[in-house]
Structure 1
């Protein structure tokens, strides 16, 4: 098997376990806090929000730092640092005795995170150019699968073990095994001697250099808006399902199905859209998927039952599957050699920012416009994004071709 394919398979599994481990605590986090001594429902809700967001806050701040080190010392080193580090932190969460312990450990987890941008950078720099779109789509499907199935697995483990602490021990062990497999099987083409000859570039200098390439700030902004638009309605969907279907003993199951519908279609679509991107250009796939996402958000404004909502969310997932893989491919296209990890880390920071602000702003606006209005806002953001992509990427790319001198 080709080396890039082995890397892709191993890192797909790593992405799945990392994102699964990050989201596995979602179904039982409030109950774990109650086990730690919190009784007041408002306190539990407040602490759960802080603990969930803490990981993204510190990840937003530290991702660019790890990206710079990754370009200097290699992507595999940073990947293993993050994998083994998160394995230890996740295990320690099982020993927490107060909400403060859990909050600080989640913040520490964000500090040492960076598995995803390191994996993306390693795959993008060690995969044949004609296969990058397919590889990015496949790698993203692993992250999506982990995000979807993580809460489901966490809930099943909580029932199976009759408690929450063993889940952290199991997750930590799986992360350790995945990192160990990556240590032995992932191979990286990285010339450390050549890198040493290059002048050292600080975090600020690196950002200034990348900012001079007009397509990269545009892609960072697109990533933020994508995540913001996708996550704005997410915390409200269970309540919307309850409103559409009424109170029932199967309410949690229906909410999970609606939440998972987007991810299941995205897993299938990501590699296929990535392959199409290799043929016709990732710029066009990105623009097509933004328009498609905007169109599929609109029916969600008018649904009257959960089956209509589920179908709409399923079709939304098809177009979501092509968004981030296209962005990753384009970042690789426009980034100078030797700065790939830094570029992906800056992009990961904007992604974390969208993950933080989307649910917060969506929750604040829901009191004014309801979740139906949030769906409409997401559609507007997606269609605006598509115009931005056309102007900053597609049109600019055509102009660059036209301006090249003829032989």
Structure 2
């Protein structure tokens, strides 16, 4: 996650450098780069999850991390936008390995404590976004390609650490045969649809993550156009939000789940997302944006709570399949979201028409309201079992 965060602040200027286009066109191209990344994750997350169910988590994680490092190094030398697109396709395939990483939690943690563990893992990812954008924004001032080199180095460090310290979590007795008909996004989702609570939570996750694509897709462009942010300021705001997510996901989510249960934690925390996006949409200044970010970190507790509810409903030898399904749903939103959100942004970023850079966040608020509704109905019907108490 630190590697991904490193390149966020420099993407607008790098795209403009490679294409010679303005900020509105660069935003559209940035959205298609995210689309390319997400399309590969959508297709390959179930494959990698299935491979980790068959061969174990350790070899899959180490191999994908090593190849991701090579890919970042190649993107650092990109001579044109086509090369950058190819690099993002490869990054999407390798980045789908977080399905295997999440499966490590289910392998080694009791069901009633998985929410806290999922939260800590999410907090670790958010910590990567704390360091990544901050460092990327700073070193990006000396060259738009330097953050890609730094990301490659981080991947290499991760591989070395994994070889030395990371032990396999999946017992050989719990492994299953790799089935290509199951290990694809459609087969995986069909199997998950047989479990009402899981498919309902996946629906809520879809709407939630689709709304979140507004931040991932247009944040740098929004700040640049509305407030004149530099790459360093953009990096610092992303790092601040990452810090808040570290606190909510990594620290508070486990405590809230233990005290109030996963059902209440999921529904109440997610409801904070709607006002957060509306504040971002109409913020008149950077301090008000920060207020919206503070409120917007509270929904970070929702995802670990939902994972605690879903994981015990799935067989132990299919935890990788579940995480692959979750990853595919998230990746599907990243396929749909960037073109949609950057398209909305571009439509309202042209000073020849209505100038409203916050327009994508209004759409996001509506999507989040739908997510809250789906989650409330699902948990009211199916969330009162053993895992919810």
- Normalising by the residue count of structure 2, what TM-score does the alignment of the two structures yield? 0.84
> Are 1:155 and 2:141 matched, yes or no?
no
| Equivalent residue runs for 1:18-167 within 5 Å | 19-33=1-15, 38-41=19-22, 47-159=29-141, 162-167=142-147
* Greater RCO structure (CA 8 Å; 6+ sep): 2
Q: Which runs of 5 or more structure 1 residues have no equivalent in the other structure?
A: 1-18, 402-407
The equivalent of 1:286 in structure 2 is 266
Measured against aligned partners, the alpha-carbon deviations of 1:125-183 in whole angstroms (never above 9, x if no partner) come to 21233432221111101212223432321232233xx3344443332122122122123
Counterpart position of 2:200: 218
Aligned to 1:347: 326
Aligned residues: 374
Structure 2 equivalent of residue 179 of structure 1: 159
CA distance in 2, matches of 1:373, 1:151: 24
- Counterpart of 1:192 (choices 167, 172, 185) is 172
Q: Partners of 2:218 and 2:175 in 1: how far apart?
A: 48
* Pair member with larger Rg: 1
Deviation at 1:226, TM superposition (A): 1.1
Hey, what's the Cα distance between the residues in 1 that align with 2:110 and 2:121?
15
Helix, strand or coil: the match of 2:109?
coil
- Tell me how far 1:122 sits from its aligned partner: 0.7
Instruction: Say if 1:23 and 1:33 are closer, same or farther in 2 by CA, change over 3 A.
Output: same
TM-score norm. by structure 1 comes to 0.80
- Hey, what's the Cα distance between the residues in 1 that align with 2:224 and 2:74? 35
> Where does 1:287-302 land on structure 2 (aligned, <5 Å)?
287-302=267-282
How far apart in 2 are the matches of 1:97 and 1:149? 27
Among residues 285, 301, 322, which one is paired with 1:322 in the alignment?
Answer: 301
Question: Would you say the 8 A contact 2:222–2:358 is kept in 1?
Answer: no
User: Would you say 1:380 and 2:346 are equivalent positions?
Assistant: no
1:254-279 CA deviation, whole Å, 9 max, x = no partner?
55554444332221111311232134
Cα offset, 1:68, TM superposition:
1.4
Query: Aligned-residue CA RMSD in angstroms?
Result: 3.0
